[in-house]
Structure 1
Amino acid sequence: MDSEEEALSLLIVLLRRRRRRRRALWMHPITASRLTHGQFYMIMSDLRADDDKFFDYFRMTQESFNELLAIIGPHIRKDSTHLRKSIPAEERLAITLRFLATGCSSFELHNTFRCGTSTARGIVQEVCKAVWEYLHYLCFPELTKEEWLKIEEGFRCEAQFPNCIGAIDGKKYFSMVVLAVCDANYRFTFIDVDSYGKASDSSIYKNSNLYQKMQQDTLNIPSDKPVSTNGDPLPFVFVGDEAFGLSTHMLCPYGGKNLQHKKKIFNYRLSRARRYIESAFAILTNKWRIFHRPLDLHVENAENIIRACCTLHNFVRERDGVQFENTLNVVGLTDGDGAIQAGCPRSAITIREKFSDYFSSIGSVSWQDRMIGNRV
Structure 2
Amino acid sequence: MPTKKDRRKAAACYYYLAVKSRCTEKKRSHRYWVRDWIKRRENMNIMEILLKELEQEDEVCYKNFLRMSAADFRYLLDKIKFVIEKQNTHMRNSIPAAERLAITLRFLATGDSYHSLMYLFRIPVCTISRIIPEVCSAIYNVLKEEYLQVPSSEQEWLQIARQFEEKWNFPQCIGALDGKHVAIKAPKHSGSLFYNYKGTHSIVLMALADANYKFLYINVGSMGRISDGGVFNTCSLATKLENNSLNIPKPRPLPGRNKAIPFVIVADDAFAMKPYIMKPYAFRNLHGGQRVFNYRLSRARRIIENCFGIASARFRVLRKPIELEPEKVSIIVSAICVLHNFLMTRSQNLYAPNGTFDIENHENGTIQPGEWRQETKALLPLQLNRNLRGNLYTKEVQKELTKYFQEEGEVPWQYEYI
TM-score, length basis structure 2:
0.79
Q: Which moved more, 1:41-50 or 1:347-356?
A: 41-50
Query: Which letter maps to 1:327?
Result: I
Query: Which letter maps to 1:350?
Result: E
Q: Which moved more, 1:131-140 or 1:312-321?
A: 131-140
Write out aligned runs for 1:109-188 (5 A): 109-143=117-151, 144-174=153-183, 175-188=202-215
Pairing partner for 1:239 from 255, 263, 266: 266
Cα deviation code 1:84-116 (max 9, x no counterpart): 111100110001001101111100110000110
Query: Which letter maps to 1:162?
Result: P
Shift, 1:230, TM fit: 3.6
Shift, 1:265, TM fit: 0.7
Does structure 2 retain, via aligned residues, the 8 Å contact 1:169–1:201? no
Residue ranges of structure 1 left out of the alignment (5+ in a row): 1-14
User: Does residue 369 of the first structure (1) align with residue 415 of the second (2)?
Assistant: yes
Residue ranges of structure 2 left out of the alignment (5+ in a row): 1-23, 184-201, 361-366, 370-383
Residue 358 of structure 2 is matched in structure 1 by: 326
What SS does structure 1 have at the residue aligned with 2:345?
Answer: helix
User: Does residue 29 of the first structure (1) align with residue 36 of the second (2)?
Assistant: yes
Cα deviation code 1:182-217 (max 9, x no counterpart): 011110001001311112221111111010000110
Write out aligned runs for 1:39-118 (5 A): 39-49=46-56, 50-118=58-126
Residue 352 of structure 1 is matched in structure 2 by: 398
Shift, 1:305, TM fit: 0.5
Does structure 1 retain, via aligned residues, the 8 Å contact 2:310–2:357? no
Shift, 1:336, TM fit: 6.6
Cα deviation code 1:157-178 (max 9, x no counterpart): 1111111110001101031111
CA distance in 2, matches of 1:309, 1:126: 14
Residue 338 of structure 1 is matched in structure 2 by: 387
Residue 8 of structure 1 is matched in structure 2 by: none
User: Does residue 315 of the first structure (1) align with residue 347 of the second (2)?
Assistant: no
Query: Which letter maps to 1:97?
Result: L
Cα deviation code 1:261-306 (max 9, x no counterpart): 1111101111111111111000110111100121221111111101
CA distance in 2, matches of 1:195, 1:127: 22
CA distance in 2, matches of 1:339, 1:266: 18
Residue 378 of structure 2 is matched in structure 1 by: none
Pairing partner for 2:286 from 247, 259, 266: 259
What SS does structure 2 have at the residue aligned with 1:169?
Answer: strand
What SS does structure 2 have at the residue aligned with 1:40?
Answer: coil
CA distance in 2, matches of 1:30, 1:109: 14
CA distance in 1, matches of 2:326, 2:386: 33
Does structure 1 retain, via aligned residues, the 8 Å contact 2:149–2:217? no
Q: Which moved more, 1:277-286 or 1:252-261?
A: 252-261
Does structure 1 retain, via aligned residues, the 8 Å contact 2:107–2:317? yes
What SS does structure 2 have at the residue aligned with 1:41?
Answer: coil
Shift, 1:65, TM fit: 1.5
CA distance in 2, matches of 1:163, 1:52: 40
Q: Percent identity, aligned pairs only?
A: 35
Residue 9 of structure 1 is matched in structure 2 by: none
CA distance in 1, matches of 2:251, 2:65: 46
Does structure 1 retain, via aligned residues, the 8 Å contact 2:271–2:385? no
Shift, 1:330, TM fit: 9.7
Cα deviation code 1:125-155 (max 9, x no counterpart): 1101111122222222241221111211221
What SS does structure 2 have at the residue aligned with 1:166?
Answer: strand
Indicate the RMSD between aligned Cα atoms, in angstroms.
2.1
Shift, 1:234, TM fit: 2.2
CA distance in 2, matches of 1:36, 1:281: 40
CA distance in 2, matches of 1:310, 1:141: 12
Does structure 1 retain, via aligned residues, the 8 Å contact 2:63–2:69? yes
Pairing partner for 1:196 from 206, 223, 245: 223
Residue 298 of structure 1 is matched in structure 2 by: 325
What SS does structure 2 have at the residue aligned with 1:242?
Answer: coil
